[in-house]
Structures are given as structure tokens and as C-alpha cells.
Structure 1
Amino acid sequence: MNRLSVIGLLGIASALWADVDVKAQKVSSPAYSWNHLPVVAQPAFKKDTLSIVAFGAKADGVTLNTESINKAIAACSKKGGGVVLVPEGLWLTGPIVLQSNVNLHVKRAAIIQFTDDFNQYPLVEGNYEGLRSARNQSPVSGTNLENVAITGTGVLDGNGAAWHMGYRDRFTEAQWKKKIAAGGSVSEDGRIWFPSEKTRRGHETKNNGILKDGKTLADFEDVKDYLRPNMVVLTNCKKVLLEGVTFQNSPAWCIHPLLCKDITLRNVFAKNPETAPNGDGLDLESCAQVLVEGCTFDVGDDGICIKSGRDEEGRKRGAPTENAIIRNNIVYHAHGGLVIGSEMSGGARNIFVENCSFIGSDKGLRFKTARGRGGVVEKIYCRNISMRNIVEEAIFFDMYYFTRPPAGVSAEEVPAVTEATPQFKDFYISNIVCNGASKGIFMRGLPEMHVKNVQLSNMVLKVKKGIELIESSGISLQNIQLQTTLNNPVMYVENSDAITFDNITYQSQVPVLLGISGKRTANVRVLNTDTTKAEKAVEYSHDASEKALLMNTAKK
């Protein structure tokens, strides 16, 4: 298909999307739609400006400016707020604590460099992957604030390499030599570099810092350096703005708003090395009224990630991430471009994603969960997404994240549905162009809880493998152009029901167009699709019945 054809298809898709969306939104509460998006309140600040220099800060890259920067922020807040200016220069510092009504403004030629002295970061009670945990204090933090911002076009550098364990197989020879020359120690098998003995001890004891009943912060002092902090953590804050700034080299997650309301990220750049462990770009956890626009992510783990707590603790919190607009963003290297999960136990809903580009990420749209999580992810709307050189799947749903799926078709006993059973339902994904991926669409639910009610429409997928649907219900695929290289079969359905393929195009002479597998597969329809281009239109396996294909009105 030439470029004009693709543009034409996307234009038609936009019109189709509007109809689909209006119908879907009739059941929404509140009634959000592409024509009625969530409203995100913005902070406002006094123009009064205090420079950190006035409080004794020095831009010599040697002086530790922790006290000066925090005094400037505190003084500004006490006076009723305003701007705290970080002028041009290299400013070495320990943890910065934000305060209400303060805009920390970082000039273009300013670098806030967080120290690699772990002793500057005391252990505090924090949150790690949705659980209450002991962590080192974050380089930037704020709790129970209102009207707070970090703006400008400068750089905040978390010095993450000082915290990260290094894995030999992730580095070139030159990089590895540089790593071990920095100090620390190497494991007996020569595969892992540790920055300190406390890091080694934490790794060897698998101590993740979870604050279970009876545990105190003092109990984790012997593994302190292993408990890497997220770089920017804002907890229970209202009217937050992060704009223009580069956040890079985070010890763990880069930007982590938790239980925040009315938060805006605009033109932010989150940058981590590919080798950075847990190096997520943005993790929105249990936040409401969110706007993420014009941002760029090039990181070591998930790019833009939606979370809401983990397992029972997340369900008890009961705070979904909801009413979010994510638009006009670019994601380069990441484990996923737009990700929901796997810690989504409080749910996620009313998430609107549009006009984003994913270039070189492991996966494109990635939705992941597992038994035990619970939580409902619903009313997710994605449109106008361009992808190029995706390593794995362009669109990915998996309810077996970090767990083992059944070994064979229909081999698993179906567990009972409980509050710990997660749900994915009501997704509307349209106008997707992907040039390069291992698979176009992969969907795998649970036998007891299928992925449900997903509308996929108006797509051009140039991929190795086409479409695979497992344990899914109410899935509609309309106007999908597949250009595949591994074609046996082009589309596969296993133990799923109410599946509609409508106007699917593909190249001629593929061996098998559609594979139907499993005795629980039922009500599969193929409409407006020329099945004669395939050497074999349908192939049944693993006790699938020919009655599963209820209707085939393919056109030649």
C-alpha cells in the first residue's frame, strides 16, 4: 500500500471511529468521549522569584547544595509561593523536597546533578511496585502538596548508574570494563557488578524492602543501597505541572506520581539507558485527571505506564488511574510504548491515547496482568498510533504476566472467579499503522475471565505473524490489512467466542488463513474477506468444531 492509500485509510478510519466512540460512550459514567474529554486543572504561581544562589548554592559541581536548594523552596512556599530559580551551571545536590505553591524552574543550561553518595539518601517509607516498602529517599519528592511544578528546559540527572547493578550480558566489552573500573565488586561467576556490599547483600537475600507487619526501616539498613529510589515521587498532590524539563538516569522509575489529581506532563523528556533496571519513564499510579502531551521517552523499561497498586493492597486502596489524556508523545526504546499493568489492582478507566509514535520499543500497546491482581481495566480508547521497528507485538494483551500459561490447548482446570481475578474489557483501538513487529495482535485471557469486548479497526500491520486470539470474547476486527511473512496461519483463534473478522486483507497464496483451535471456540465470523487467496481457508485443531465458524460471507 502506498502512502496516499494509508492516508486515505486513516481518514476513513477517523470517521468510523467517531461513530464507534459515540456508541461506546453512551454507557460511560461520566460520559467522556473524544468530543468531551476529561478536564485537567492547571496550577498557577506568583511571579515572585528566588534564586538558589541567594541561599548559598554554588554551581561548581563539587559543593553539595542540598541545604541551599531546600531552604530556597521552603522560603518561597512560606511567603505564599512563586518561582525558585535554578540558574545556568552544574548544581550538585542530595534529595530535593518540593513544597506547595512553588515552581522549581530549571534554566536551559542548568544541570541538577544528584550525588552518588548513598548516605545522603535516608531510608523512608515509600511504595515499590504497588506495595508499601522501605526505599531510599527519592532525589525529588513531595507529599500532600497543592500547586507545585518543575519547569524550564534544563536537566535533572539522578546518577542512576551509581545505584544500578550491572549485568555482563547487557554491556559491550568496553562498557563492562568501564563499569568494573568504577569500583564496587563482581559476583563469583563474573556476571553481575555490585556498586556496594549492601547492594550485593540485598541481591543475594532477595530483599525487596516490603514493609510487612512488624518490620521497621531499621530492619533494612544492612541492604539499604539495594533499595533504589524512584527519581521523582509525588504523593497525594493536587495541581501538578512538569513541563519542558529532562529527567534522566533515574535509580529506578523515573517519574512516579502516586494518588495525585490534576497532573500535567508537557514536553518532558524522560531518558534512561537501555540497561537501566526498572528504568520506566512515567508510572501514573492511582492518579485522576491526567494530561500527558508532547513528551518523549527513551528508557530502560516501560515508557508510559498506568498502574493502581498491587494485589490485595491495591484492591484495598481502591483508587483507579482514571480520566487520563495521553497525546502527541513519542516513545523510543522501552519495554512498551503505552502500558497498563501489571500492578493494576485498583483498576484503570477512561484512558484516552492518541497521536503517539512508538519507534523501536519492545511492544507497542501493552496490557498486562495476572491472577491475584484483581482490578478492572476498562474504557480504554486508543487511536492514531504509528509504530515502527517494534521488537515483539504491536498490540498485546496478556493475563499471564510473569506466570506460566497452560502447556496445551484446553489443558488447564478453570479456577473460580474471585476478587483476585483481573478483568480487561471495553477497549476501542483504531487507526494503527505498524511497520515492523514480530506479531501484529496478540490477546490471551484466562479461562475463567476472558479479555472481553475489544474493538480493533482500521489498521495496517506489516509484521512477521498476524493475529492470535486466546481465551477472548466479543472481539471485533474490522478493516485490517495484514502483510505477514510467517503465514501458518495468518489468524488464529483458540478457546474464544464471538469473534468477528470483517474486511481482512492479506497477501495471496498463504498456506492457511484462519486456524480455529479448542473445543470451547464458538461463534467465529469471517465477513467481507476473500478467503480464496489462501491455499486453505480454515484449519481446525484440538477438538475444535466446524460449527464454530457460524458464518462466512467472504467476497472474492
Structure 2
Amino acid sequence: MKKTTILLFTLLISISCSKKNSWNINEFGAKADGKTVNTEAIQKAIDACSEEGGGIVTIEGGTYISGTILLKDNVNLHVSENAILLASVNPNDFYSIDPFIDATGQYRGQCFIGAADVENISITGKGTIDGQGKMFTPNNAKKTLKKLGLKEKKEDVTSLIAKDNQYVSKNIRYSNRPFLVRLVRVTNSKLKDITLRQPAAWTLHFFQCNTFEVDGIKIFSKANKNNDGIDIDSSTDGIIKNSLINSDDDAICFKSTSLLPSKDIVVKDCRISSGWGAIKFGTESQGNFENITVKDCHIFDTRGGGIKILSADGANASNILIDNIDMVNVEMPIFIRLCERRLTYRGAEQQPVGSINNVKISNINAVSRKIEDLRMFPTVGFYFSGTPNHKLGTITLENIDITLPGGGTEEHAKVIVPENEKEYPEFTKLGITPAYGMYARHISNLITKNISFKTTSDDARKEVITINVDNL
């Protein structure tokens, strides 16, 4: 056999035996025509990829409409820069994975992109995943169903309702508002470079996930209510970095809607804006918050709290480091609250009152919002409160410079702050404080070093008030 023939034969054998590692959804019948609902085609591509051992499922070259799709083992869903994965406007095109009822009494679990009990998955690319959230308001969802001649599909939520049924709104609300991306009990997941836009509810939810990474993504979430940016829920060993999150509700939120903790997580080098809380722990907080670091971040245009650390339902929050944070146009720079609400989720038993201990906040520069932009006037720089029977543990504050709008009057200086031990743990529930710099009460050990408060107008309140603080 000639040498060239041998080489050609060897090449053909090599090609025929090579493993396929890329699947394009167009090969499975997907169409970027703005009309076709491509759920089945996209799911077939994902299933085929996983069944062959994994690889890349590519979405490129236009706008593709879909309902719920589920990622499988070893699949990288890659949305190219010239592509948009767009949620269908039909509420019946979405279904739930591992549903639950949250602290407000809302049914949760539906999702656009989901994954449950799988490993080694990723969502990458410089394209966009858009949830069309404005189309899932109650009125718009009803209009869509009527236009399509369909009835709303509802799942039975009876088994999900907690025995005590002490939800914030005191009633259960069924809603057809899918999360944009929801990962449940996933091991080793990654989101890289992708843009996530306009979900109907939360944008990115990790529940009981282990080993996750978020790097260089963009989130814009302002189309509906309860539209959090990233929710880390009873999940461990994660990093969120180099990302931009702009949401009307909490931007990055640590939760525990199960008894498992959220722990060993780092957030760094992010730009964050929120209509309620930029970095938040809680309020759903049955499992612990442990070993969490937030550093080197810029928080801006936040109508609510810059940093909120809350334990309401039994969580023991410990070993938390907040370091090198710059805040501009933020209403409540730092709020820490331990209370005795004790809601339950997912059939768990009610937990004892939790704790907040070993929290260090350092190297913070914060400038508050203007008076006319405040939810609660006058505001305060630090608002820390345990309860008479359950104190905060050790809180350390170092190298902090806070600029506030002032405006407090003699009447504000006489305010007595209610305890509200079982209320929703929010500064607006406790109300105005008689101090403009720091109001701190029910704390075992408060350590301060190099703290500065400035006001841009006169304030008749005291700079600092501490009540029932054992060691200051």
C-alpha cells in the first residue's frame, strides 16, 4: 500500500472515531423566526449531548423562543453573542422543579432554564437569556392565556404549606412567574459571560448546590416583582466575581430555605445596584450562614440597604467578612438584625432563635442617598439590633467613612425604637432611630476602630447611641 494511501486511511479512521463534542439546536429543528416555541428542539439537543458524554449545545444566529428547558450532566449551554434565548409568553410553557413556598407565601419553583440532581453543567457565551418578565404580571398572564384560548395550569400546593402558615402576607399566593435560571442540587456548575435579563421572578437561584462559579455575567432585572439578582440558597463552595448585577429587589442574596447551610462562599470584584438590598443575608434563614466573604465591590444607586445581615428563622450567621466596599447613593449602608420570626420551609421543624457572631466589616466608604430619595427619613449609617433575650455576638468595625444627608430634628432625637422581635426583619419595620451615625442595641461585643460619620446638613440627633451593649 502506498504511503499516501496509508496516511489517508489513517486520517479517515481518526475522523470516524473522533467523539462529537458540539450540538447546534438548529440540527434538531429549532427556528429563530420569533414565532416557533423551540422547547422540544432545544431539549433534544441537550439530551443528545448528555447521552453522548457531554459537550457544547450551541444557540446562535437569532432569537429563539422556548419554555422550560433542563440542563443535563456535562452540558455547556452556549449562547453566542449574536443570539437571544427568549422566554415564551405562555405561562403554561413553564413548569416547576422542587417547588416550595417562600417567606412571603408565594409559590416558587417554575423556571425558564433549570437543572436538578446533575453535575458538571455550564451556561456560557456573550449572548442573552431574556425572561420577558413584564408579560408575567397577573394581568398580562391572564391576557395571554385568553388570547391563546387556554386555561391556566395550576399545581397542587397543599403539601408545601407550612404547618404554622405564618407567612409574611398571611396567605398563600399561586403565581405563574418562572425564575430565569434555577439550579437544584447541582454539583459543579458555572456561568460565564452570559447576560441574564428581565426574569418574571428571581434571576439566578442556586438551591443546595455544591461548587459553583459565576464569572463576568451581567444581570438586569427590573420587569416584575421579587426580581432578585442572584440567590445562594443552602449552597456551598461558591464564588461570584467580575459581574454586574442591577435588580429592583435584592441583588446578591444569601438564603437558606432548608436546614442546610449556605457557606464557604466568596463575592468579589462586582458592581451592584438594587432597589432593596445590594448584599443581603436572609430573610429566609433556617440553615446557617458560615464563612462568607464579600470584598472589593462597588455598590451604587441602591434604594435600600447596602449590606444587610439578617437572621430571622434560626440561622447561626458566623465568620462573615465584608471588606473594601465602596458605596455611592445608598440609603442604609449597613443593617444587622437578629430577630425571632422563626418561619419554616419545605416541611422542616421550627428552629430555635439563631445568632449573628464574628462579623467583621472593614474598609468601607459610603455616601448615602439624598433626603428626597430616602424610603425612611431620616436615615442612619449603621443600624444594629438583637432582641432583649437574644443578643448579637461580636461585631467588629474598622476603617469606615460614612457620609449621610442629616436632616434629623429634635423630635426624631426623642424616638424610641420598637423591639418588634417577630416582625419581618427590615429597617423600615423598626423605623427611625434617635442617632444619625450608629444605632446599636442588644450586642455582646461591639468593637470599633477608626469610624467616621459626616452629614451634609444639620442633624439634631446624636451621632452614636448604644443600648444594652456589654462590651464597647
Quote the Cα distance in structure 1 between the aligned partners of 2:173 and 2:20.
40
Instruction: Render the CA deviation track for 1:219-238: whole Å, top value 9, x for unaligned.
Output: xxxx9962423221111111
1:122 shift after superposition:
3.6
Counterparts of 1:49-448 in structure 2, within 5 Å, are 49-122=22-95, 125-129=98-102, 135=108, 137-165=110-138, 183=143, 211-212=160-161, 226-273=175-222, 276-309=224-257, 314=258, 317=259, 319-361=260-302, 362-370=304-312, 373-391=313-331, 393-400=332-339, 419-437=351-369, 438-448=379-389
Q: Give the percent of matched residue pairs that are identical in Structure 1 and Structure 2.
A: 27
Quote the Cα distance in structure 1 between the aligned partners of 2:213 and 2:105.
25
Quote the Cα distance in structure 1 between the aligned partners of 2:144 and 2:65.
22
CA, structure 1 residues 79+213, in 2 after alignment: closer, same or farther (shift >3 Å)? Answer: same
Quote the Cα distance in structure 1 between the aligned partners of 2:297 and 2:158.
36
Judge conservation of contact 1:47–1:83 (CA < 8 Å) in 2. Answer: no
Judge conservation of contact 2:189–2:212 (CA < 8 Å) in 1. Answer: yes
What's the secondary structure of 1:67's corresponding residue? helix
Counterpart of 1:427, as a letter, is V
CA, structure 1 residues 482+124, in 2 after alignment: closer, same or farther (shift >3 Å)? Answer: closer
Judge conservation of contact 2:95–2:111 (CA < 8 Å) in 1. Answer: no
With the length of structure 2 as denominator, give the TM-score of the two structures: 0.77
Instruction: Render the CA deviation track for 1:288-346: whole Å, top value 9, x for unaligned.
Output: 1100001111112101011112xxxx3xx3x1111001000111133111110111211
Whose strand fraction is larger, Structure 1's or Structure 2's? 2
Judge conservation of contact 1:130–1:308 (CA < 8 Å) in 2. Answer: no
Matching residue of 1:482 = 453
Counterpart of 2:354, as a letter, is P
Quote the Cα distance in structure 1 between the aligned partners of 2:106 and 2:226.
16
Judge conservation of contact 1:209–1:227 (CA < 8 Å) in 2. Answer: no
Quote the Cα distance in structure 1 between the aligned partners of 2:292 and 2:109.
31
Counterpart of 2:333, as a letter, is A
Judge conservation of contact 2:381–2:438 (CA < 8 Å) in 1. Answer: yes
1:360 shift after superposition:
1.2
> Superposition RMSD on alpha carbons, in Å?
3.0
Quote the Cα distance in structure 2 between the aligned partners of 1:489 and 1:326.
34
Counterpart of 1:242, as a letter, is L
Quote the Cα distance in structure 1 between the aligned partners of 2:227 and 2:185.
23
Which structure 2 segments of 5+ residues have no match? 1-18, 164-171, 343-349, 370-378, 407-435
Counterpart of 1:396, as a letter, is F
**Number of equivalent positions:** 393
1:116 shift after superposition:
0.9
Quote the Cα distance in structure 1 between the aligned partners of 2:368 and 2:126.
33
Quote the Cα distance in structure 1 between the aligned partners of 2:96 and 2:235.
25
What's the secondary structure of 1:449's corresponding residue? coil
Counterpart of 1:477, as a letter, is T
Quote the Cα distance in structure 2 between the aligned partners of 1:149 and 1:132.
31
What's the secondary structure of 2:285's corresponding residue? coil
